Amino acid sequence: MNHTVETPITPARDIEFWFDFGSNYSYLSVMRIEAQAEARGVRIRWRPFLLGPVFRALGFDNSPFVLQKEKGAYVWKDMERQCRKYGIALTRPSVFPRAALLAMRVALLGAEREWIGAYCREIMQQNFVHDRDIGSMEVVSEALAKLGLPAQQIIADAQRDANKLRLREQTEAAAAKGIFGAPTFFVGDEMFWGNDRLEDALDFCYSSPC
């Protein structure tokens, strides 16, 4: 009798997660990605970037959800549905899109640290649940302190010129990769755009033997 030994399917790659704290659909992905990736044994590469400069390079001076009234109305109705689907709280921000430069600089600084996921979820909830100014020193400090982190030192490091430059360079890298919105996921060179493609991107991390 011939016995065939099947080679198990294993994760092929990490997933790059490109996001902006002002992005409503990034909110959905930030709240979901760690649990989804852990369930599949996939490692997340957190890639915070500034969506505003990307939009401006594409000829938009604001979010398309603001510039196009009908699209904007649809999007917030869709957000309500999606948040019900995932069991995620939602309060439509009184300012949208909300600038979050300091919060983004901290995210970049912490991208390789174990607290990055919890920090990103906290900042997103401050914006899309509590409707607070996530670009402020107060909110960012509170978010870090809530996680038991040295807020003053982390913020000082995030505000150093080298880290500011890194965020600009990361934003330029996003544009160079062809990113036009957030969230965007990369598995190798394969790009997936939008929260509704998160599972597809994670599934793509697995490859079957030839």
- Please list the active-site residues: 23
Fill in the amino acid letter for 38: E
Structure tokens at 148: 């038991």
CA R_g for the chain: 18
Pairwise CA distance, residues 26 & 194, whole Å: 8
Q: Which long-range contacts (CB under 8 A, 24 or more apart) does 130-138 make?
A: 130/91, 131/91, 131/93, 131/94, 133/95, 133/98, 134/21, 134/98, 134/100, 134/103, 135/98, 135/99, 135/100, 135/101, 135/102, 135/103, 136/102, 137/102
Structure tokens at 77: 């109705």
Handedness of CA 29, 34, 40, 45 (dihedral sign): positive
Asked whether the beta carbons of 194 and 65 are under 8 A apart, the reply is no
Fill in the amino acid letter for 49: F
